[in-house]
Amino acid sequence: MMMKSSLKLLGGAIVAGSIATASAVSAQDLPATNFKVIGPWSNSTTWLLNIEPFWNEHMPEASNGKVTADLTSMTEMGLKGPEIFRLIKIGVADIGTTVTGYASGEVPELDGMDLSGVNLTIDDLRKSVEAFQPRMREIMMNRVGVRPLAIWPTVLQGIWCAVPISGIEDLKGKKVRVFATTQSDFMEAVGATPVTMAFSEVVPAMQRKVIECAVTGTLSGNLAKWPEVATHMYPLAMGWSLWMATANEKSWQAKPAAVREFTQKQHKEVLEAKAWKIADEGSMEGLWCSTGDSRCTWGEEQKVTRYNRTHVPVTKEDSAKLAKMVQDVALPKFAERCGAECTKTWNETIGAALDLKAAPK
């Protein structure tokens, strides 16, 4: 899946690599504009490596100080994530970011881009997202009531446990934190109890033994210090945790056209592009750096801490079980939730791209 280069992710290096693609609009021609932005949790990968440097460093630099933001994290606001689309729709902020899976209960189509066990590689995920982009934009604008600006993955989502496990079978009987409906389907199928819980609540919940395991990214868990509580990292493909940046439509249209063009371009060509590269490289770096693997090359510059937790390898047997569960659980359950028309669209877009077919049992 991966890499060998060391990304220059932080500080001036982020800005230097991206100003060249700033915009067809000259920065000198931009009117001074300030956005009110809600970002992710302050200990998340997306905040530390993407959103915070994007708004606080890149956007002011690329616009010669013309486009700025009052950026607040979900942590500061005491938010859990699922409410972001609603807050943006009613105008609490101009722009907000959240995990698409958090809205899957209200908008089941959003799960379809990142079903557990379906996108085994970053290339598979890119195919899924690209295939569904037109329909996703229509849903967000017309049904959810917000304007999508960008969509990107975090990293490969695996299973972190504070108790010993050796594979899929050991999840049976355990309480496992999930954040998407498709992950709940998987955990129920293996005999685990899915527990919906905000990212920021996981470490204390593990400490109090409210849960034994939790799903998040290999890098995300490291940046949030999960290995200080979790002892085992099992990189079974539970998805990629897609994030979406959306704007309040009324506020967006009130901004000068040049600012809208500039801001949209920066989201696509800078924020999105860097996030996809981090997802590709960071997936293995997060695993290696958390489990004492000598291949770990990331460190302080990327906010990574080196740990020596247990890497639980995904065996051929576990991969075969996962593939069977995709056919027997993930796809049928998604089809049941999504309905006939939605399933037809999925089969014509994502299904066609990945050579899969969804149908209810």
Banded model confidence at residue 103, pLDDT cuts 50, 70, 90: confident
In a domain, 183, yes or no: yes
Is 163 found in the same domain as 150? no
| 67 strand-pairing partners | 33
Residue 152 near residue 246 (C-beta atoms within 8 A): no
pLDDT at 1: 42
| 92 has a pLDDT exceeding 50 | yes
Is 249 found in the same domain as 168? no
Q: Which residue has the tokens 């100080």?
A: 65
The domain that holds 209 is classified in CATH as 3.40.190.170
Nearest Cα neighbor of 234 from 159, 162, 176 is: 159
Tokens of 128: 């899924």
Is 255 found in the same domain as 123? yes
Is 176 found in the same domain as 123? no
Using a pLDDT cut of 90, give the percent of the chain over it. Answer: 86
Total domains, the chain: 2
For the segment 203-215, the average pLDDT, to the nearest whole number, is 97
| 19 has a pLDDT exceeding 70 | no
pLDDT at 8: 44
pLDDT at 107: 85
User: At 40, is the secondary structure helix, strand, or coil?
Assistant: coil
Cα torsion 79, 84, 90, 93: sign? positive
pLDDT at 325: 95
Is 213 found in the same domain as 78? no
**E strand residue ranges, 207-351:** 213-217, 232-234, 242-247, 310-311
CA distances from 347 to 59, 335, 350 (A): 38, 10, 6
Q: Which residue has the tokens 């200080």?
A: 228
The residue count for the chain? 361
CB atoms within 10 A of CB 142: 8
Is 47 found in the same domain as 180? no
CB atoms within 10 A of CB 136: 22
The angle formed by the CA atoms of residues 229, 290 and 43, to the nearest 5 degrees, is 65
For the segment 315-330, the average pLDDT, to the nearest whole number, is 96
Is 190 found in the same domain as 249? no
Is 51 found in the same domain as 116? yes
Q: Which residue has the tokens 């696509």?
A: 268
Question: Which domain covers residue 221, as residue numbers?
Answer: 157-239+304-330
pLDDT at 312: 98
Is 209 found in the same domain as 111? no
Residue 265 near residue 18 (C-beta atoms within 8 A): no
pTM here? 0.88
- pLDDT tens for 178-201 read 998 999 999 999 999 999 998 989
| 10 has a pLDDT exceeding 50 | no
